[in-house]
Structure 1
Amino acid sequence: MSIRKTTEMLLSGKFVCAVTSPEAFNDLRNPETFETVSSLLRPLNRKISHTKGGNAFYASWLNLDDNSDRDSISREFEGLRNQLRPVISFVLELMDCDLRDHPLNVGDIISEAEIVTILENNNFLNERNVALLRLLTTKHASAPVPTQVKFIFDHMKKFGIIAETIEGSRRFQFTGKLEYIYEVLEYINSREQILEKNADEQQLAVQGDIFNG
């Protein structure tokens, strides 16, 4: 993939991983390409960061005190915060459907049809699915299970958490962004006291730790 396209992907907020963009992911693992893209991002107050597990690259902020970028940083933080609860609820529901006792990971494959079948035959899990749906929308709560599940999967795809293995197959793989979500959740859980809703200074501290990469 061209350096320009890789740079544009990062600037658009996308996570570059082996699932969504294998060519760009491999390019960024090359030190020379990494430095070239980094040099293009620096004048835009960005840098390349990666998850601790190394399964995803993403653009983070160089200087959070730049007033010209403050609104963008706040919007990015709010968008992420709004995704956390639905994404974690989605992962926990899938673990219950699969009777797993360990987290889902980058590259794990899930089938929409299989989840529909499980939910249609399990009232408890079906109720959990409706609760997850209500985190995303006030609509579709009384819709058939296949409609509910499709809506949820489409939302997770929009969030960048899953990607379709083959277009139209409705089989999905978890992307590198899942690893990032786990890391953010771990950070927040370890510092729960700084998430008071009306504590602006504390929120800025969270933004700084998360978006400085």
Structure 2
Amino acid sequence: MIAQVLRCLLSGAFICPIAYQTEYNLLLLPENRDLVAETMKTLGYRLARTNPDDGAYYMAPLDLTDLPITRVKEELSRFRDVFGPAVLLLDMIRQTNSVEIGLSPGDVIRLASLEEVIIESASLESQLRDLAPVIRNFNPRASIRDNLRRVLEQLRAAGYVALVNSQAEIYQVTGKIEYLYSVVEYIAEHEVIMVERVDDQVHDEQQVLDGIGDA
């Protein structure tokens, strides 16, 4: 069973009670958690958690400084530009107070309820259309329900929600959502620094290339 936990983590999965209940329960036992952590350490990773009390478990590098800063910025931008807007739309629907929707781990999202709210709001419908560049197979000519389904399915494929009732199209928010919130918050606080570091690295790399060309 420990091997199954390791496979999940090494695949990039976030282990929480919603997405991987069996594996999550295994990691709650200190002896299993220690064994998994030691094994990951030998591979250059550590066992991390979205929050210390009941957060999702995931794999993280032992040393972030080993990662190229340009790669880090690309990853952060993907969170901000692709998943951030989709969750923002769901949050705006939540703030209408006309439908019960939560965006914390374990909260339930009903596709039909989302559709009803957007149909009644030209502003929300416009925001849904604005997601076209970042949502896979989004079709501006398709129905609101079809495009909402594409939004939720993209979030599901990325591990932020799980489909718990396919017939009624009911989703449940997973523990990975906390990771998205922390990344978006980090970007908001450090984006200027990140851009400057990327510019410096590109400049340094160009100087190396120029030196090779002059040799």
Q: Relative to structure 1, is the Cα distance of residues 29 and 14 closer, same or farther in structure 2, using a 3 angstrom cutoff? A: same
User: Residues 134 and 49 (structure 1 numbering): CA distance in 2 closer, same or farther, change over 3 Å?
Assistant: same
Q: Tell me the SS of whatever aligns to 2:19.
A: coil
Query: Residue by residue, what CA displacement relative to the aligned partner does 1:100-143 show, whole Å, maximum 9, x if unpaired?
Result: 68972111111111111222222111010010232224741221
Hey, what does 1:57 align to over in structure 2?
57
C-alpha contact 2:14 2:175 (8 A) present in aligned 1? yes
Aligned residue for 2:104, secondary structure, equals coil
Determine helix, strand or coil for the equivalent of 2:141.
coil
Root-mean-square deviation (Å): 2.7
Could you list the per-position Cα deviations for residues 19-76 of structure 1 after superposition, in whole angstroms to 9, with x for gaps in the alignment?
111221122122110111112212211110001253211000113455xxx58x9767
Pair 1:94-2:93 in alignment? no
Q: 1:165-192: CA deviations, max 9, x gaps?
A: 2344311111111101111122222223
Aligned counterpart, 1:205: none
TM-score (ref. length: structure 2): 0.80
**Range moving further from structure 2, 16-25 or 139-148:** 139-148
2:186 aligns to what SS in structure 1? helix
Task: Check the 8 A contact 1:134/1:141 in 2, yes or no.
Answer: no
Instruction: Report if the CA contact (8 A) 1:18-1:55 is conserved.
Output: no
Distance 2:14 2:166 in 1: 19
1:6–1:24 contact (8 Å) kept in structure 2: yes
Q: Give yes or no for the alignment of 1:31 onto 2:36.
A: no
Identity across matched positions, percent: 25
Unaligned 5+ residue runs, structure 1?
A: 203-213
Q: Could you tell me which residue of structure 2 aligns to residue 211 of structure 1? A: none
2:131 alignment partner, SS class: helix
Residue ranges of structure 2 left out of the alignment (5+ in a row): 203-215
Q: How many residues align?
A: 197
Using the TM superposition, give the Cα deviation of residue 193 of structure 1 relative to its aligned residue in structure 2, in angstroms.
Answer: 1.8
CA gap of 1:16–1:140, structure 2 versus 1, over 3 A, is same
SS of equivalent to 1:141: coil
Which TM-score applies when normalising by structure 1? Answer: 0.80
**What residue in structure 2 maps to residue 120 of structure 1?**
119
Partner of 1:146: 145
| One-letter amino acid of the structure 2 residue matched with residue 116 of structure 1 | E
Change in CA separation of 1:199 and 1:103 when aligned onto 2, cut-off 3 Å = farther
Q: Between Structure 1 and Structure 2, whose CA radius of gyration is higher?
A: 2
Equivalent in the alignment of 1:209: none
